[in-house]
Chain A
Amino acid sequence: MSETKISTNETQAADITKAIQAQLAEKLFGTNILNAGSNMHECNKPKFSCGEYTCKTNTHSCSGDFDCKNSFTDDQCNRHFKCGQTFNCHGKYEE
């Protein structure tokens, strides 16, 4: 497949996605979850768990199941990950 065709396909896919995602979100979830608001961290999914989340800070990497709620505090989102470190939802890494 030529690069031009790949680009065309990707452009069309992007356009279609943009056109339908809000309406599809309403149909699937009963609300447009894409407008979750700026207090959402990278786990931008108000109804669902973020699943595996990997953070990389300096040379350290930790991962674990991460549950984000619609609005959250540090207490709600702190989790002990497999590496034994606590990760803060707001992107700061605490020893």
Chain B
Amino acid sequence: MPANPDWLVDALSVSKPDAVTAICRLSNELDINIVNAEKVFADVVRELNAQFYPPLSKMELTVTEQCNLACTYCFEEGMKSPKLMSRETARKAIDLLFDYAAPETELTITFFGGEPMLNLPLIEWSVDYLKTHPKYQNRPLNLQMTSNGTLIDEVTAPRLAELGVRVLISIDGLKETNDHHRVYRSGRGSFDDIAQGIKALKPHQPWVGVKITVMPDDANKIFENVMGLREIGINQFIIGHATGVTWSDENRQYFLEQMTALKEWYERENPSEFRISDFEETDTAMGYFGCSAARSTIAISVDGQVSPCSKILGIDSNTPLALLGSVNYGLYRLATRRNLLSCSKLENACTKAGIAQTYKGGCFASNMTDAGDLFLPSMTDYDFSILWQKVTG
């Protein structure tokens, strides 16, 4: 052990620890080579996280930054490059998740992008590595992928099912709505290809869920879009308003009216084989500000940096905000993780704005986009939280 490890306390308590310098000093003081010093550092960091913070249980893996679409509202504006995640990075990321998770807990891994289907070989390799990992031990695994659906076909659909990867498709509605914003670089709409993908997927994944992003100019068509997508085989809906865009009073009113109509239909008809996640009765009351980002969830960038979540990562993957660490050394930015979990600045800001009683600060990424700071509430998101309360009653 170092004669006096106080320097390591100082090194790890700052907002941006210099892991490389700390490892070099450990190597010198412990008289071990750099490889062993890296291992010691990572182990210390892991143990400190276990002492101070909750275990991880969810990880988003950015398997590629490539995407074959050019959706106008893409939140990953800061993530558009030909980068692909390597097996080495995926291996280290999976090792990290097992190391930071509590024993026997269910682990959720979401394969993300860009468009993750553009790196299917890595997904296949990762699933195999997961299930043969010495720490797997048949614990519950929830494997998911968020995809634009355009590259799912009669070959890839059964393969995904075989791997146990459940697909959540991003689609905004029927053709007219979807093709407003979910387009190829040429401007051509993606709906027809997504519909083919859904058709190919259904026999192998009978329960298909979608994520709808409601843009202001389509807020008056939510009901018809959900009904129409139900007709083509969609079973579950996650509906969210677009962030980082301007919502007029009129469009907000449309959103309220459409979601209210949908909720009334949902309760009246009680349709089988159909769920709208946002209407489910769950105890979502949180005792803390912020969200699960950095609490139980992390996101891994294509080159192995650890971010609180994919949305924060998407803001700028070259210079990630609120970086937590790396797959090489673990979550060594302990002060950053503390800030994200305690959210004292966010709580104070919500209290000052008079909204803290009912609003726990929302999404860090939306806050950054709308308010310019992860820890200042997006008042647009707050307004929508009020709208949702009116919808759900």
What residues make up the interface of A, taking CB atoms closer than 8 Å to B?
Answer: 1, 5-6, 8-10, 12-17, 19-21, 23-25, 27-29, 33-34, 43, 45, 47-52, 54, 56, 61, 63-65, 67, 69, 79-82
Contacts and interface: CB of A to CB of B under 8 A. Distances in A.
B74 interface: no
Given A1-B35, A24-B9, A51-B296, 4 more contacts: A13-B44, A23-B6, A47-B342, A48-B288
Contacts of B52: 25, 28-29, 33, 45
Interface in B330-365: 334-335, 338, 341-342
A54 B55 CA distance: 11
B295 A49 contact: yes
Contacts, number: 125
A61 B142 CA distance: 14
A94 B10 CA distance: 45
A5 B43 CA distance: 14
Contact of A79 (B30, B47, B283): B283
Nearest to A82: B282
Given A24-B13, A51-B54, A9 B40 contact: yes
A16 B40 contact: yes
Contacts of A61: 106, 140
A54 B13 CA distance: 30
Interface of B: 1-2, 5-6, 8-10, 12-13, 30, 32, 35-36, 39-40, 43-44, 47-48, 51-55, 57-58, 102, 104-106, 140, 282-283, 286-288, 292, 295-296, 334-335, 338, 341-342
Given A10-B43, A12-B40, A16-B40, A80 B282 contact: yes
Contacts of A20: 5-6, 8-9, 12, 44, 48
Contact of A17 (B36, B44, B341, B342): B44
Given A49-B287, A51-B55, A19 B105 contact: no
B361 to A, nearest CB: 13
Contacts of B55: 51-52
Nearest to B51: A21
A28 B47 contact: no
Nearest to A47: B342
Contact of A14 (B10, B47, B287): B47
A25 B13 CA distance: 9
A16 B5 contact: yes
Given A28-B52, A33-B52, A16 B44 contact: yes
A29 B282 contact: no
B40 A27 contact: no
Nearest to B58: A52
B53 A45 contact: yes
Given A16-B40, A28-B52, A67 B296 contact: no
